[in-house]
Structure 1
Amino acid sequence: MADVTGETLQDAIRDVVDPQARLITDDFQAYKGIGSEYNGGHETVCHSTKEYVRGDIHTNTVESSFALVKRGIVGIYHNVSREYLHRYLWQFDFIWNNRELNDGERTVLAVQSAEGKRLVYKQR
C-alpha cells in the first residue's frame, strides 16, 4: 500500500474481508463509513478517549497478532522484501493460530502439513 488514506485502506479491507463479517476497529478516521458494507456492521473503540474495550468490542487480538509480526521482523529478519512479505505473514499467521502449542509441537505440525507436497522455491 503506497499510502494510508481512507480510500486505500478501505479498498484493502474490501479485498480481504468477507461482506458477512463484523468489523471491529479503533476510531481511526480512515475506517469511517465502511461499516455499512458489512452485514455484521462496524463497531469501534475510541482509543483517543482511552476506551480500549466495551463488552466484546476491542482490538486487543489484532494488536497482539501484529505485535508478533513486528517482533519477528525486527528481531529475526530485520528486513523483508515486499515481494515475499506474504510468505513472512503466512509464517506468523501459522505461529499465531497455533500459539497454544510449544515450539516442538508447532514444528511437528508444520512438517506434517508438508507431507505429500512438493516444496519448491522459484527465484525470479
Structure 2
Amino acid sequence: MTTAETTKSKQFELSMDDTGILHLRWAHQAVIEATDAEEAIRTLNTLCGLTRHPLLVDMATISRVSREARSVFGGPCLASPVALLGASPVDSVLAHFVLSMNKANRTKRFFTSRVEAIIWLNQHTKM
C-alpha cells in the first residue's frame, strides 16, 4: 500500500492509499468517546471530498467504544463500504454489536484478515 495522504490525531491515524481505500487505525487501547468519533468522521469526510471511498477500520487494539461514539458512527459519512478488522473473539463481539446498532445505509462487514477485507472492499466498490 502506498499512502497518498495521512492525518494523525491522538486517538487515530487516517490515510488514503493510492487505490482510494481509507485506512483508519485507532491507538492501542483507545477508549473511543463521541468527540473522538466526531473528529474521525470529520477528518474522513475531508479526505473524501465529495466522493464516497471504501474504509478499512482497524479495531484490533481498541479498548472500548462508548454508546455516544457508536451513535456518531451510525450517522452520515462518505465512507462506503466499511470493513471492520479485528483480531480476537472480543473484537468480533464488539464489531457485531456496533454493526447491529448502526443503521447507516452503507455496506459493512467484520474480518480477521486484512487481505480478505481489502479484497471485499474492492469487490463492493466496483458494484
Which structure has more helix as a fraction of its residues?
A: 1
Taking structure 1 as the reference length, the TM-score comes to 0.29
Taking structure 2 as the reference length, the TM-score comes to 0.28
Which one has the largest radius of gyration?
1
Which structure has more strand as a fraction of its residues?
A: 2
Q: Specify which structure has the bigger relative contact order, considering alpha-carbon pairs within 8 angstroms and separated by 6 or more residues.
A: 2
